Amino acid sequence: MSDLKKELHQLCVNHVRKIMEATELAIADAQKASTDDTKSSAGDKYETGREMAQQETNRNMAQLNEANKLLVALNRISTTGASAHAEPGSVIVTNNGNFYLAISAGALMLGSKTYFAVSPASPVGNLLSGKKAGEEFTLNGKLYKIESVV
């Protein structure tokens, strides 16, 4: 089962790295646009273009900072061992889906199964945290029975 945890963990890391790569590319594009913008006789067009490029760079820098925080959070999660109750790094199998308690990364396909990577701070992650096999919770009017926690 620790192989499953390691594979899910790696899928989450890959998800964050893709976000980081796209964000870094967007930052480079915005900075290039800012330096390529030349002053024209249109008055404030140059300054407006530079300001818009700077705002785009700032937004992307904030997104890159958030992605770095996700990577740090993933690095703190153990991919070995098992716990009797759901905690960060746990794989939780329910009658209505499989969950990986780590970061919010959406649906992860592993073989023929789908696992939903959820943050402990998310609504579903909050409901899962601390639960054991055999316990139940309701989400959006749907009853979930926990079959196993690893």
pTM of the model: 0.84
Two structure tokens written together for 61: 């820098």
Q: How far apart are CA 84 and CA 79, in angstroms?
A: 15
Assign 3-class secondary structure to the chain. CHHHHHHHHHHHHHHHHHHHHHHHHHHHHHHHHHHHCCCCCCCCHHHHHHHHHHHHHHHHHHHHHHHHHHHHHHHCCCCCCCCCECCCCCEEEECCEEEEECCCCEEEEECCEEEEEECCCCHHHHHHCCCECCCEEEECCEEEEEEEEC
Amino acid at 133: A
Q: What are the pLDDT digits (tens) for 29-55?
A: 888 877 776 555 455 555 677 788 888
pLDDT, tens digit, 9 for 90 and up, residues 63-117? 999 999 999 999 999 998 888 899 999 999 999 999 999 999 999 999 899 999 9
CA–CA separation, 19 and 10 (whole Å): 14
